[in-house]
């Protein structure tokens, strides 16, 4: 595995609002991520101008949208002297994987409470990859008993032995994590000012735990970008909704205020746009529109989508073309899936040797 080489460029947020430099932060990501014109794909879909913000390239060890959040989350954990980080996610969780990889890299011990999800090849790869970080893994029996099991596991396994635990909620969507995407909006503003891209009328992004969306909404407002951010819901409404998004944005705003930023805009529920029509039947369950988007991106661009998040998000661009008159608009698709190569990690793991007993069953059946 190669060493992660974060760029030394100062964060756009810190450059623009110097008082925020006192916010705990650690460089993990390769920033700024490129922004590219998708000419062929745009004309295929019928968008006047289609761009991609390539957060797939946000990290060498692992990319996607979680790295930006972890810069502030792990930065805070280190600043507060924690030794172990603890988080939750489905067995194929990108967030759990990103957290484990970067926690190890900065010298923190990763621990994950997993819950099952339908097993796919992607899930198996992520499970193997997370094992390469030698994390503490615990498996809850299902999503519904998770809160109880979180409590039990916390009490039994860790609080007795290691009390020095920094907790990161699912998806990394706590207020410090949201700052990663406030910064991302300032980063886009700089790229527009440098002429690397145009001011988008619309930004489309997948919304799960809503931290990415919340950060972009607050950040775009603060940076003075006249852009509508459109979240495409890919998780149940109980997790993905405008109330949670606005709440997260305002909590992140509070951190910025505590670090000297004045005139933080208040984000209300009506400031949040979330599309419900691309979710389909369930989290992780592919939709026809999502699969069509996957195929179209593969045919006309080098943007690689998957069915759970990014396929559904991109399907919304195709699906909203008429309603939002995208033939006369500038559209930015914010890509949130890691493009990092995990093959060395995956090859280093032996399922029978390295995964805890309860996990063996995820590798037994033919897919």
Ligand X SMILES: *Cc1c(COP(=O)(O)O)cnc(C)c1O
Q: How far apart are CA 367 and CA 354, in angstroms?
A: 21
Instruction: Point out which span in 3-11, 208-216, 249-257, 266-274 binds ligand X (CB under 6 A).
Output: 208-216
In whole angstroms, how close is the CB of 208 to ligand X at the nearest point? 3
CA 184, 86, 98, 279 dihedral sign is negative
6, two tokens: 């974060």
Residue of the chain from 42, 211, 284, 290 that contacts ligand X (CB under 6 A): 211
Shortest Å distance, C-beta 266 to ligand X: 21
Whole-angstrom Cα distance, residue 367 to residue 364? 9
- Owner of token pair 């409404």: 237
Q: Is residue 64 at the binding interface for ligand X, with CB under 6 A as the rule? A: yes
- Measured between alpha carbons, how far is 247 from 193 in angstroms, rounded to an integer? 30
Q: Which stretch binds ligand X (CB under 6 A): 4-12, 211-219, 319-327, 354-362?
A: 211-219
Contact letters (x/-) for ligand X, 126-165, by CB under 6 A? Answer: ----------------------------------------
Q: How far is the CB of 89 from ligand X (least distance, A)?
A: 9
Which one of 104-112, 207-215, 286-294, 319-327 is the stretch in contact with ligand X (CB under 6 A)?
Answer: 207-215
| x-marked contacts with ligand X along 31-50 as a string, rule CB under 6 A | --------------------
CA nearest to 178, candidates 152, 154, 209: 209
Residue 310 touches ligand X, criterion: CB under 6 A:
yes
The residue count for binding ligand X (CB under 6 A) is 18
Cα separations in angstroms, 21 against 66, 101, 249: 21, 25, 19
Interface with ligand X, residue 336, by CB under 6 A: yes
Binding to ligand X by residue 62, rule CB under 6 A?
no
Residue (of 46, 45, 172) closest to 110 by Cα position: 172
Length of the chain: 367
Q: How far is the CB of 336 from ligand X (least distance, A)?
A: 3
Please say whether the beta carbons of 248 and 212 come within 8 A. Answer: no
**CA–CA gap between residue 225 and residue 70 (Å, rounded):** 25
Given the complex with ligand X, which of 125 and 152 has the nearer CB atom? 125
Residue 202 or 204 with smaller CB distance to ligand X = 204
Judged by DSSP in three states, 118 sits in coil
Residue with smaller CB distance to ligand X, 180 or 200: 180
Distance, CA of 279 to CA of 282 (rounded, Å) = 7
Binder of ligand X out of 60, 173, 241, 287 (CB under 6 A): 173
The residues pairing with 232 across neighbouring beta strands, listed in sequence order, are: 206, 275
């Amino acid at each position: 595995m190669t060493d992660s080489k974060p760029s030394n460029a100062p964060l756009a947020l810190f450059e623009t609002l110097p008082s925020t430099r006192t916010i705990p932060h650690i460089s993990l990501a390769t920033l700024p991520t490129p922004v590219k014109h998708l000419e062929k794909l745009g004309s295929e879909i019928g968008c006047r101008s289609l761009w991609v913000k390539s957060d797939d390239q946000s990290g060498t060890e692992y990319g996607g949208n979680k790295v930006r959040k972890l810069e502030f989350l792990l930065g805070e954990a280190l600043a507060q002297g924690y030794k172990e980080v603890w988080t939750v996610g489905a067995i194929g969780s990108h967030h759990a994987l990103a957290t484990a990889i970067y926690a190890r890299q900065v010298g923190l011990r990763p621990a994950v409470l997993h819950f099952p999800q339908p097993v796919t090849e992607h899930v198996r790869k992520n499970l193997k990859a997370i094992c390469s970080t030698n994390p503490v893994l615990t498996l809850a029996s299902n999503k519904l008993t998770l809160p109880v099991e979180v409590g039990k596991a916390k009490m039994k396994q860790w609080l007795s032995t290691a009390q020095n635990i920094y907790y990161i909620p699912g998806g990394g969507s706590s207020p410090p994590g949201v700052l990663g995407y406030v910064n991302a909006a300032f980063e886009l503003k700089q790229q527009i000012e440098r002429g690397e891209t145009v001011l988008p009328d619309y930004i489309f992004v997948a919304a799960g735990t809503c931290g990415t969306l919340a950060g972009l909404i607050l950040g775009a407002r603060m940076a003075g970008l006249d852009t509508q951010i459109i979240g495409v819901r890919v998780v149940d409404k109980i997790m993905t909704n405008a109330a949670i998004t606005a709440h997260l944005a305002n909590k992140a705003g509070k951190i910025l205020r505590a670090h000297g930023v004045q005139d933080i805009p208040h984000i209300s529920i009506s400031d949040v746009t979330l599309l419900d029509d691309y979710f389909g039947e369930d989290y992780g369950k592919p939709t026809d529109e999502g699969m069509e988007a996957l195929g179209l991106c593969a045919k006309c661009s080098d943007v690689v989508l998957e069915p759970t998040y990014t396929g559904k998000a991109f399907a919304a661009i195709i699906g909203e073309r008429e309603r939002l008159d995208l033939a006369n608009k500038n559209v930015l698709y914010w890509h949130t899936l890691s493009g990092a190569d995990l093959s060395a990690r995956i090859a280093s793991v032996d399922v029978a040797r390295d995964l805890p007993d309860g996990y063996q069953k995820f590798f037994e059946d033919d897919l």
